[in-house]
Amino acid sequence: MNKKFFSIFLIVSTLLSASILSGIVYAYPDTIREKVFTTYLVNPIGTPGTDSYNAYGYSGIHWKTGAVNIIYYIN
Amino acid sequence: MENRCCKHNLLHQLKGAPSGAAAAINAAFETWDSKIGDDLFNDNFKIATKETGSKYDGKNVVSFGRLGSGIIAQTTVWYNRYTNEIVEFGMVFSTAYKWGIDSDGEGSAYTLTNAFDVQNIATHEAGHTLMLDDLYTSAASALTMYGYGDYGETYARTLGAGDISGIKAIYP
C-alpha cells in the first residue's frame, strides 16, 4: 500500500515539477533585459579638468545590496 | 598547497591578459567596494578557462576577447525589468590591443608604452557593473567614469568626487 502511494506521489510530483520548470523557462527571457556599456579609444581632450561632475545611475537598476555576494570569474 | 600551485599557474594562462591581470581586476572591483557599505564583490574570485563575458550564462565573467574596431572594453549588465535588480554582468577586454600592468600606478612615468593598464580600464568597467554610465564632457575627463581611455593612463584607478557621488546615489 505504501509502495503504491509512494509511486503515485513520485509521478505527481515529477509532473508538477516539470510543468513549473517549463513555465519558468518560458517566462525568463521576457523578464531579463540587458544594457551594454562600451569604452572607446580616444586621446584625452586636453588637460584633465575638475572632477566635481557627478556620475549618474541608470534608471535605478542596482544589485540587491546586503544580500548578494558577487562571485566573478576571470578568463 | 596544490591549489595554490594550480591557481598560480592559471593566472599566467589567461588568454590575452598580462601576468598579474587577475589581481589587478580584483583590485579594481575592491576600489568600488570600499565606497559601498555592503561588501558587494567577493574577494575570492575564480579563475575560469572557457567562459566569456559576452553572453548571459548565469556567471559574472571577465574575459579577454574580440570586440569591434576602436573599442577597448565592453561591459554588459543583465537585469530584471520588473524588480530593477541586476542578475549578472559580463566584461570583455579587447585582444586587439596590448595590455599591461603599470607597476607603480603613476601613468606619467609611462611604464606602459602602447598598452592599456588593466587596473585602470577595469576600474572604469567595474563602475558599469554598478550601473554608472559613461561621461563624455572634457570637464569630467579626470573621473574614472570618463568614457574614453588611452594608452598608459592610470588616473581611473582612483575614484574622483563625481564617481563617489554617483555610487553613493545608487547605493546610499
**Per-residue confidence (pLDDT) for residue B11, from 0 to 100:** 36
Determine the number of helices (DSSP H) and then strands (DSSP E) in chain A: 1, 2
E strands present in chain A: 32-41, 72-74
**Per-residue confidence (pLDDT) for residue B159, from 0 to 100:** 94
Residue B41: φ, ψ to 5°: -90, 130
Q: Kindly report the pTM of this predicted structure.
A: 0.77
**Per-residue confidence (pLDDT) for residue A1, from 0 to 100:** 56
**Per-residue confidence (pLDDT) for residue B118, from 0 to 100:** 94
Q: Render B120-164 in DSSP notation, one character per residue.
A: HHHHHHHHHHTTBPPB-SGGGTTSTTBSEE-TT--GGGS--HHHH
- Residue B34, CA distances (Å) to A30, A57, B76 in order: 34, 18, 22
**Per-residue confidence (pLDDT) for residue B149, from 0 to 100:** 87
Q: Which residues have C-beta within 8 Å of that of residue B47, sequence separation ≥ 6?
A: A73, A74, A75, B7, B10, B11, B14, B22
Q: What is the mean pLDDT of residues A35-55?
A: 62
Closest-CA distance, B49 to chain A, in angstroms, reads 5
- The tens digit of pLDDT for each residue in A7-35 reads 766 666 666 665 555 555 554 567 888 88
- The tens digit of pLDDT for each residue in B100-147 reads 988 776 655 556 778 899 999 999 999 999 999 888 887 788 889 988
Residue B139 to residue A40, Cβ atoms within 8 A: no
A39, A43, A47, A59: best mutation site toward chain B, by most B Cβ within 10 Å? A39
Is A66 part of the contact surface with chain B (CB cutoff 8 Å)? yes
Residue B60 to residue A42, Cβ atoms within 8 A: no
ipTM over 0.90: no
- The tens digit of pLDDT for each residue in B5-23 reads 333 333 334 677 888 888 8
Q: What cell was used for B90?
A: 559580463
**Per-residue confidence (pLDDT) for residue B13, from 0 to 100:** 42
- The tens digit of pLDDT for each residue in B63-85 reads 888 998 889 999 999 999 899 89
Select the more confidently predicted residue: A19 or A73: A73
Select the more confidently predicted residue: B3 or B117: B117
- Confidence grade of residue B99 (pLDDT, cut at 50, 70, 90): very high
Q: Which residues have C-beta within 8 Å of that of residue B55, sequence separation ≥ 6?
A: B90
Q: Provide the 10 A C-beta neighbour count for residue A29.
A: 8
B11, B124, B131: best mutation site toward chain A, by most A Cβ within 10 Å? B131
Is A64 part of the contact surface with chain B (CB cutoff 8 Å)? yes
**Per-residue confidence (pLDDT) for residue A29, from 0 to 100:** 61
